[in-house]
Chain A
Amino acid sequence: MKKVMRIVLVVALLAVTFISGCANNKQQGDNSGNKSNGDAKVKIRFASWSKDHLDKQKKLVNDFNASQDKIEVSLETYGDDYDTKITAGMGSKDAPDVMYMWNYPAFYNGLEPLDSYIDKEESGFKEKYYDALWAYNSIGNSVYGIPVGFSTHCLYYNKDLFDQAGIKYPTEEWTWDDLKAAAAAITEKCDGAKGFSYKLKADPYDYEMYLWSNGSGYVDKDGNLNGSINSNQSVEVLEFFQDMQKEGIAVATEGEGQDEMSSAKTAMFISGTWPIDTLKKAGLNFGIVEIPAFATSGQDSVSILSSSGVSISKDSSNKEAAWEFVKYWTGEELNKARIEYELPVLNSVVESEKLLDDEYRAPFYSMLKQSSGYTPTSFVIDHWSVLKDNLELSFERIFNPSTLEDVKTVLDEVAAK
């Protein structure tokens, strides 16, 4: 009997170890790929990259779950390294059913094209959204995400430093020469502050907007680098930025530039809508205005759009339910609910909330109007990740204070690859 007891004990121990290890896996297995059968709720996984507004997002998801009893959405907060996690999910065919998306060129292979879903909706569905956004949420002629937010870039300026130097605030009529003059004056008159700052590790996706503003781009419409990235206009843009650093009136920041701005170490910088909260909390007296134009370009400045949308995974087994949730998340109610931290994309909401009168938000909408008709290179060429790598390194070589390499040489090298 003793021996039998020993064997029973061993088996029981093993069973417990295995079950406790596998229990978690079972739960996850239940959530994904559930088939709706009459009473059982369809379970949808929704991935978000938000770090700051998680409570608000959770509440909105709970509201959806409470408002109907066919679909249950579970919010997965990925935070940092969002792209890596989505990549891993798609690679293992286990991506969330609905997810925030911005990098369509890299991920569209794993996303469900939404044109057929849009066509089934009432007419005028697409027209409710700002037109420029659709190009950023599609690849070729297929729509892969419904716009949920966007940011263009604008010029932030420190009103106190401008007052101190006795210069008039920037206006939408400004050119880059005006900015340079103001930066020089501020650097001279305000101790310890530089006039302008920009990122040392310029984001190639964002930086293309400066080239657009001067009439060029990374590639021509056939995807060729030579003649575009190293054209005179492109060289002019980069040299302009580099010269400001050489003359000591601008600084290339290690980080985003928000820290330098909030501590009044620089008077101006260009960014999207993200710093607004931080700068307000720092108690900074600042203003926002459109990006200056290049005097010789003969056109208004153009901004890059960072548009985020929500997409459906190609491998989802509950696409209809996912579409219902996508409509909810991108609808009027939620555009209004997110107004504190996400610029609404629906024309109706912008009108009803009078956003065009808001001094902090209006410039972003006017940049949006000035920027339609431009497609980022990442949407045009195949191997954007490789080009992005090269551009990042090249910009560093040009903007790093320890190197400050000759612009034309560096850009010619990029075009040659």
Chain B
Amino acid sequence: MDNNGRPNHIEDYLVQLHSGQWFGWSDSKNKVYANLIILDDTKSKPSESDCTSGLATMQSDFDTAQTIATNKKASGKQKLKDLGLDDDEIQVLIGA
């Protein structure tokens, strides 16, 4: 994932698929699906499309969550204004 926490690699999908060290890479310098290896025999190897679509879903969820958070922050700030608080007071309360 990037520095903002947005998933940007199929490893981000794989990590949340199962707990523990169930997978790895045959070449850790080249983390592509072809190099994906399964370390835990009780786990099956997800398909490449599962990985790419799973990552896309995580990115969409992340973006949606970010949008919702941004909107809620804006609506909450407006409601505080409607209650009569000025921007400085709101800044002190919520940091935005």
Chain A complexes with chain B? no
* Chain A residues near B (Cβ < 8 Å): none
B→A interface (CB under 8 Å): none
